Amino acid sequence: MSNNKQILLAKRPEGTPDKDTFKIVETEIKKPGDGEILIRTIYVSVDPYMRGRMVDAPSYVPPYQLDDVLGGGAIGEVVESKSQRFAQGDIVIGSYGWQSYYKAKEDEVRKIDKDIAPISTHLGILGMPGLTAYFGLLDIGKPKEGETVVISGAAGAVGSVVGQIAKIKGARVIGIAGTDEKNQYLKEELHFDEAINYKTTSNLQEDIAKACPNGVDVYFDNVGGEISDAVHANLNKYARISICGAISSYNLEGEDIGPRIQTTLIKKSVLMQGFTLGDFADRFAEGSQALAQWLQEDKLKYEETIKEGFDNIPEAFLDLFKGNNIGKLLVKV
Amino acid sequence: MSNNKQILLAKRPEGTPDKDTFKIVETEIKKPGDGEILIRTIYVSVDPYMRGRMVDAPSYVPPYQLDDVLGGGAIGEVVESKSQRFAQGDIVIGSYGWQSYYKAKEDEVRKIDKDIAPISTHLGILGMPGLTAYFGLLDIGKPKEGETVVISGAAGAVGSVVGQIAKIKGARVIGIAGTDEKNQYLKEELHFDEAINYKTTSNLQEDIAKACPNGVDVYFDNVGGEISDAVHANLNKYARISICGAISSYNLEGEDIGPRIQTTLIKKSVLMQGFTLGDFADRFAEGSQALAQWLQEDKLKYEETIKEGFDNIPEAFLDLFKGNNIGKLLVKV
């Protein structure tokens, strides 16, 4: 058995993280004690929210500490078990992050069903991104049949699920993404009604107005910044904005400055609600069940961008901010 | 009988309105026809939202037209009635605005009860500002006992009622206003727990932090701008922001630029809801009844700033933006 490879936070990034943000080390693999298991990692997840945890400031999750392993979603195989609850060969999911082996206490991880769908989907459409889409759209956005739903970051792990659930609910769905390839995927594979390339448009606000002749009733926002400013100008009375992410601001060195939103909210009686998935922790079973059922009924499709090789995890994470991936971005270790 | 004096919109203001924005004219008093009444105005209301209607842009109420009478809340006495529903001497309230006489159709105005409180209160604590406070605080802010409620524009017609309702509900209440006299009134007369003078503080964000050792759970926002930026920095997880007004921005000639709010909303799972009173039109009876009862039980106090003289209406309106008035600002014609 080889050593345990781990990726640590080497220094806190200012602006865009780079390779110096991370440090790869090798440590000895620890033997599981009673009630513990040893996991060999198969997939690790790279997610935009991890950028926020690299800053030493209070947020909804504690910041990473320097020289600690970067925590996050991971799937692995149990290679040794001293727990009654797990057998060798079981596939488990946890939040233990970027390391090739992990000695887990039995309540730190849970077993996943290998038969519903490929195991990697538990880090994507059946996991955190899928649940985020489900609750953020249905509990905050509350799209009604015939309403118009706009999604920024529409081709990402969350946005692509949001749009499909909105279609299931009978809404007209418009995605905003940054490449023609993504937009082709949104329209042809996921059946979005329209898709707008914010990088090539000469006037995003007008393009949104054209794509939404009845205005915008629900805006699912993964991005923030100028893209959102352009959507806000097209909101209908009683619109709902579900604020899931603001990836345009995560690497800013200064403040995120733009038009203040208050007057728009008053004029249109708009609701804006920020959330994180943890707000819905007591309803994960409901969400997982709905997503799994839609997947089995072929009402949901998903795409994964899977990179290979443990050492490529930092690069995959940095790719998130370049906006090139479609669907869920994973690394196969 | 004299002529009917009317105040018209002479030109659309850019930036802060001034005397040239308005034009006083005299016209003949019209005779009421069948089902109509003639009203002699006693009080007219001047309100911040009227600034928005002076701009030719879509909003929740249609813009004023050039050379039209400036509409808004008014109270008067019926001097001639050709309606079964009104008798001479009845006191009525309507939205017919800045004119000394008005020939109304019988469904344009409603009779008010002279016995509950002085009739002027129907333009203030028992009228639009009181109802705005009631629904904006209770339906959006939803303060719980022991929570902390912060109010900007706290000494105004709406803010002063919001704070008192929040106290009735058992919250800790902090007001932000712009003179020491107002703050003394908030603390000594209305029993706010703390009041902060945003004009004399050297660091508003820190002052709010000190006044709110447990953070801010509900923010009732009449003002927007930098005052709100400072409150946003002190929000608690699951805070609610009720966006009632943004008076700091109404006279801006350019865009209202400042920190974008999205990241704050995500980190703290904050709800922000813009509203106007019309959103609650089907529940006015409930609100009016609650306010009248609290008033009779001495749980609500109110202050009015009453200017005298029809010709002084424009000046009274302009005073709103100087921030000198306490409570409801009215003109007695």
* Segment A21-70, tens digit of pLDDT: 999 999 999 999 999 999 999 999 999 999 989 998 877 778 999 999 99
* Structure confidence at residue B59 as a pLDDT band (50, 70, 90): confident
pLDDT of residue B41: 97
B267/A59 Cβ within 8 A: yes
- With CA atoms as reference, report the closest residue to B236 among A181, A172, A58, A55: A58
Is B258 an interface residue toward A (CB < 8 Å)? yes
pLDDT greater than 90 at residue A258: yes
pLDDT greater than 90 at residue B72: yes
A138: three-class secondary structure by DSSP: helix
Chain A: nearest CA to B311, how far in angstroms? 30
B265/A272 Cβ within 8 A: yes
What total number of domains does chain A contain? 2
Mean pLDDT, rounded, for B246-272: 93
Which residues in chain A touch residue B249, judged by CB atoms under 8 angstroms apart?
260, 262-263
* Structure confidence at residue A325 as a pLDDT band (50, 70, 90): confident
**Closest CA in chain B for residue A275:** B269
- With CA atoms as reference, report the closest residue to A173 among A139, A202, A216, A133: A216
Q: Are residues A203 and A132 part of one domain?
A: yes
Q: What is the count of residue pairs from A and B with beta carbons less than 8 Å apart?
A: 122
Mean pLDDT, rounded, for A213-218: 98
Residue B218, in any domain of the structure:
yes
pLDDT greater than 90 at residue B62: no
Q: What is the CATH number of the domain that holds A143?
A: 3.40.50.720
Is B244 an interface residue toward A (CB < 8 Å)? yes
B256/A262 Cβ within 8 A: yes
CA distances for B4 relative to B29, B34, B80, B222, B237, angstroms = 5, 20, 15, 34, 55
Q: Are residues A137 and A236 part of one domain?
A: yes
Residue A74, in any domain of the structure:
yes
Rounded to whole angstroms, the Cα distance separating A86 from A36 reads 9
Determine which of A262-276, B109-123, B145-159 has the lowest per-residue pLDDT on average: B109-123
Mean pLDDT, rounded, for B154-177: 97
Instruction: State the sign of the Cα–Cα–Cα–Cα dihedral B184, B186, B192, B196.
Output: negative
Mean pLDDT, rounded, for B278-287: 95
Is B63 an interface residue toward A (CB < 8 Å)? no
B263/A260 Cβ within 8 A: no
Q: What is the pLDDT of residues A273-324, one digit of tens each?
A: 999 999 999 999 999 999 999 999 999 999 999 999 999 999 999 999 888 8
pLDDT greater than 70 at residue A7: yes
B256/A265 Cβ within 8 A: no
Q: Are residues B190 and B170 part of one domain?
A: yes
Above pLDDT 70, what percent of chain A?
100
* Structure confidence at residue B251 as a pLDDT band (50, 70, 90): confident
Residue A208: CB partners within 8 Å, gap ≥ 6? Answer: A150, A174, A176, A196, A216, A230, A231, A233, A234
Above pLDDT 90, what percent of chain A?
89
Mean pLDDT, rounded, for B83-88: 96
Residue A292, in any domain of the structure:
no
Q: Among partner residues B58, B260, B272, which is closest to A265 by beta-carbon distance?
A: B272
pLDDT greater than 90 at residue B139: yes
Q: Are residues A140 and A261 part of one domain?
A: yes
Q: Are residues B110 and B88 part of one domain?
A: yes
pLDDT of residue A83: 96
Q: Are residues A274 and A132 part of one domain?
A: yes
Q: Are residues A132 and A96 part of one domain?
A: no
pLDDT of residue B1: 57
Q: What is the dihedral of CA B121, B125, B129, B133, to 10 degrees?
A: -170
pLDDT of residue A69: 96
pLDDT of residue B28: 95
CB neighbours (10 Å) of residue A166?
A: 28
**Which of B47, B248, B266 has the highest number of chain A CBs within 10 A, making it the mutation to test binding with A?**
B266
**Closest CA in chain A for residue B266:** A274
Rounded to whole angstroms, the Cα distance separating A85 from A112 reads 13
pLDDT of residue B253: 85
A258/B243 Cβ within 8 A: no
Which residues in chain B touch residue A273, judged by CB atoms under 8 angstroms apart?
265, 269-272
Residue B259, in any domain of the structure:
yes
Q: Are residues B118 and B142 part of one domain?
A: no
Residue B22: CB partners within 8 Å, gap ≥ 6? Answer: B7, B8, B9, B10, B70, B314
pLDDT of residue A114: 87
Residue B293, in any domain of the structure:
no
Residue B120, in any domain of the structure:
yes
Which residues in chain B touch residue A56, judged by CB atoms under 8 angstroms apart?
none
Q: Are residues B318 and B197 part of one domain?
A: no
* Structure confidence at residue B280 as a pLDDT band (50, 70, 90): very high
Q: What is the pLDDT of residues B197-239, one digit of tens each?
A: 999 999 999 999 999 999 999 999 999 999 999 999 999 999 9
pLDDT greater than 80 at residue B60: no
Q: Are residues B43 and B73 part of one domain?
A: yes
**Between residues 265 and 324 of chain B, which touch chain A (CB distance below 8 Å)?**
265-276, 279
Q: What is the CATH number of the domain that holds B13?
A: 3.90.180.10
Rounded to whole angstroms, the Cα distance separating B155 from A266 reads 20
Q: Are residues B237 and B145 part of one domain?
A: yes
Rounded to whole angstroms, the Cα distance separating A232 from A195 reads 17
Mean pLDDT, rounded, for A79-93: 96
Q: Among partner residues B52, B261, B276, which is closest to A261 by beta-carbon distance?
A: B261
Residue B324, in any domain of the structure:
yes
Which residues in chain A touch residue B263, judged by CB atoms under 8 angstroms apart?
224, 246, 249, 256
Rounded to whole angstroms, the Cα distance separating B113 from B91 reads 8
* Structural domain span for residue B94: 4-124+302-332
Q: Are residues B87 and B134 part of one domain?
A: no
pLDDT of residue A1: 57
